[in-house]
Structure 1
Amino acid sequence: MSDEERWNNRNRDIYASPTHSSFEVLDPHDPTLSRLATLLFKRTNEYLQGEIASGGDHYMLLEEINRLAITKYTDLRNLAVNLNRTLTEYNDLYGNTIKPLLSQIDDIDVMVTRLEENAYRLDSYTKQLKTRIKEMYDAKG
């Protein structure tokens, strides 16, 4: 006979159920112990139910945070795309419109500087002519 057969034959009458109590109905037992055990099971049940509920609450909170983060990052992505588009438009505007105008302004500035130099020379020359003419009138007269 194998070990398994001996074990099965020996324990044939023993039935272990998860709902089986160690207190038999007809066996006398301590009522205080029974009350304390019941209180222990009740409080353990309340504690475990609370832990399960708080775990569910934490999960719901994490889901809400995740949804908010997804929304926020989607908004930031859209903002970055719009900003990129606007900067591209401004760069094109600068390259096609503003840069040539700035170049023309620089050219005009160079021409004004030359004109100013020529005006100072002309002013200096007219002062010299005025001085000569005055000297000629003074010498004749």
Structure 2
Amino acid sequence: MSTTTEEESASAVEASQEIPPSPEYRELARDMFEKITEYLNGELSATSEEYQLLHRLNQMTIAKYSDMTSLATRLNEVSESLNDKFVSLQPYCDQIDQVESSVSALEQTAYRLDAYCKRLEAKFKEFEKR
């Protein structure tokens, strides 16, 4: 007898599950699925926008590095040109240094000669007085 009651309760549960849901539950389920769909679409849209932003940032970075490469190349060319000019002017710089050294030596000689002339003049004046 207990087997039949268990079978009856099991068939009663099955029968209760077969009852179609009320329109209110259907509306709530439909609303729930719409909101889940909106949420997922929002998440996918945000992710897509983040990837688009990253793509734009990468493109800007590529452009900036390209500009920096171009600038570095031009600076290198200018540096090489200046170095070549310096090398070509180096003999003249060496000559200027030699002339400066000679002028300094000549200046020192002129000071010594001037001092000697003053001493000689003083001796001459002393000799004239006698």
Paired position in structure 2 for 1:11: none
Higher relative contact order, structure no. (Cα contacts within 8 Å, ≥ 6 residues apart)? 1
Cα deviation, residue 60, structure 1: 1.3
SS in 2 for 1:28: coil
Q: Identify the match of residue 71 of structure 2 among 56, 75, 79.
A: 79
SS in 2 for 1:29: coil
Distance in 1 (CA, whole Å) between partners of 2:112 and 2:60 is 73
Cα deviation, residue 28, structure 1: 3.1
Which consecutive residues of structure 1, in runs of 5 or more, have no partner in the other structure? 1-22
Which consecutive residues of structure 2, in runs of 5 or more, have no partner in the other structure? 1-16
Distance in 2 (CA, whole Å) between partners of 1:127 and 1:43 is 113
Distance in 1 (CA, whole Å) between partners of 2:119 and 2:50 is 96
Q: Compare the two structures and name the one with the higher helix fraction.
A: 2
Q: Identify the match of residue 32 of structure 2 among 23, 40, 46.
A: 40
Give the aligned length.
114
Q: Quote the RMSD (CA, aligned, Å).
A: 1.7
**Match status 1:135 vs 2:126:** yes
**Match status 1:123 vs 2:119:** no
Which whole-Å deviations, capped at 9, do the CAs of 1:50-84 have from their partners, x for residues lacking one?
A: 11211221121111111111111100111111111
Paired position in structure 1 for 2:62: 70
Q: Structure 1 length as normaliser, TM-score? A: 0.74
Q: Structure 2 length as normaliser, TM-score? A: 0.80
Paired position in structure 2 for 1:31: 23
Q: Quick one: which amino acid aligns to residue 72 of structure 1?
A: K
Structure 1's consecutive aligned runs of 4 or more residues displaced over 4 angstroms after TM superposition are none
Percent sequence identity over aligned pairs: 37
